[in-house]
Structure 1
């Protein structure tokens, strides 16, 4: 069985997508004692892969409809205790959750899972764990549906740009929603630097409703709540994917450094010409090992690359190790 260190790429998403994913405790000599990240892939044939106790597990999802897919990355919050277990519990919930054809259905089922797991992880100490969740639901024949909680991210990467498609749920975003900081300050704080603070996580709850204390429900950053300069980046929305770009779902270990915007800005050149999704994942992890950004902090690393295919006929031109 492949380890979490190797890109998993034998998923059946044709003819629409190719997908590869990998997860590690970290990069370099200083690493976290365990990997509290997780991921989930359920492909169009119902074959699933995820981490259980930091090891890759695989299974077939019974009754999964042909052509539907689901991909997600999660970052368990170890600072609150039980971070790995929280991420694993959400993955288990996603494995049991029926496929969703609309954003409304997806949000309703995930809000219910959030409430259920809050009850499960309610401790007398009051220190509830949490996890980020950035996922794409891939209906057969339909557009991808994004659902996002926390500070993991979805990026669209083409030849010239690495563009974030999600808004980090961090204190700077709380300040932006209340008008206390402007666009320039928000981008500088969120993408020009990195702090481990978070304002919302799955299971944990949110600090958007009442910044002075955590509230139980999840707080959706909808179009009407976001400032105009973050328009089009709502947490829960349908996406249009470009065939000339690839899409990266990643945890924040990839930008936990002194100047994350500079490091992320090098991804288009790094990934240019990657023959398939697995090669793109390989290059991202190799960069973290061989040319890490200045000030890199020890953190877990999970990267999932999804690349749209131009048409079914293009499959015959893919390398032998590409998805089929």
Structure 2
């Protein structure tokens, strides 16, 4: 199955924050896409998210993806390397102590497969035949309460501890990502996003927006606009990738933050 991708990204500081600590990555030649949402004072969050995407680019930017198990191992290695770099900087630079970041990274393979790595509460979704499926599980305290049946999804969304992470890259010398292999078909739309989107915007509204905006650029812009219309409580980033495009995308290999 020949793999062709069209993609776009949009990011915004939101309506409340002064700085954008999100970063995103799009490397079409390596079929690698990622979103990172940094945390930490004195601009440390911006540093952490940037280190994450830059490390992924360095580790995987020149490596063509192989078979699923090999690609999965390479992606895990890259995420672990990013975590070590962030943790080392946090330990050496007082202003960056305690910094960390989420990361959700997706690499497309031939034969209808992708590999997915995930730490934190940024998310990956797949829209197929108009139906949205969440591909990641949030590493948050409220998600743990939901898993135990102690909290509803609406309650979790409104809870004051909704953004408390139980796992973040760089907060320890080794933070392992969740890893999975996910299938793709021509016409599927994949979304990587920070919680600045999923906090104020429920999944059903994300699904509707992706259905109504088949062009990746229009979809990414519409999702960011929707988050800001709902109050823009956080930085918001959306990377949209559509499989089965008629022509390869035109984009820079340079990570953006």
**TM-score bin, normalised by smaller chain:** 0.7 to 0.9
Compared CA separation, residues 141 and 158, structure 1 to 2 (3 A):
closer
- Mapped to 2, the partners of 1:185 and 1:266 lie a distance apart of 22
The alpha carbon displacement at 1:126 in A equals: 8.8
Q: Are residues 1:305 and 2:248 paired?
A: no
Q: Which residues of 2 match residues 34-45 of structure 1 at below 5 A? A: 34-44=19-29
For 1:168, which of 134, 138, 151 is the aligned residue? 138
- Native 8 Å contact 2:121 2:137 kept in 1: yes
The alpha carbon displacement at 1:23 in A equals: 1.2
For 2:75, which of 106, 109, 116 is the aligned residue? 106
User: Does the residue aligned with 2:26 lie in a helix, a strand or coil?
Assistant: strand
Q: Are residues 1:74 and 2:36 paired?
A: yes
The alpha carbon displacement at 1:32 in A equals: 1.2
- Native 8 Å contact 1:80 1:129 kept in 2: no
Query: Which has a greater percent of helix?
Result: 2
Q: Show CA shifts across 1:228-258 (max 9, x none).
A: xxxxxxx20111024343111000111333x
Gaps of 5+ in 2: 251-257
Give the TM-score taking structure 2 as reference length.
0.80
The alpha carbon displacement at 1:86 in A equals: 0.9
- Mapped to 2, the partners of 1:306 and 1:116 lie a distance apart of 28
- Native 8 Å contact 1:150 1:199 kept in 2: yes
- Native 8 Å contact 1:39 1:71 kept in 2: yes
Compared CA separation, residues 187 and 80, structure 1 to 2 (3 A):
farther
Aligned partner of 1:197 in structure 2 is 164
Aligned partner of 2:52 in structure 1 is 90
User: Does the residue aligned with 1:298 lie in a helix, a strand or coil?
Assistant: coil
Q: Which is bigger in relative contact order (C-alpha 8 A, separation at least 6)? A: 2
- Mapped to 1, the partners of 2:210 and 2:86 lie a distance apart of 37
User: Does the residue aligned with 1:272 lie in a helix, a strand or coil?
Assistant: helix
Mean Cα deviation higher: 195-204 or 105-114:
105-114
User: Does the residue aligned with 1:304 lie in a helix, a strand or coil?
Assistant: strand
For 1:280, which of 196, 202, 219 is the aligned residue? 219
The alpha carbon displacement at 1:197 in A equals: 1.1
Compared CA separation, residues 190 and 165, structure 1 to 2 (3 A):
farther
Q: Show CA shifts across 1:258-313 (max 9, x none).
A: xx43xx31233323242421121122233334xx23xx35211110001111xxxx
Q: Compare CA radii of gyration and give the structure with the larger one.
A: 1
Give the TM-score taking structure 1 as reference length.
0.65
- Native 8 Å contact 2:12 2:224 kept in 1: no
Q: Which residues of 2 match residues 42-81 of structure 1 at below 5 A? A: 42-44=27-29, 68-79=30-41
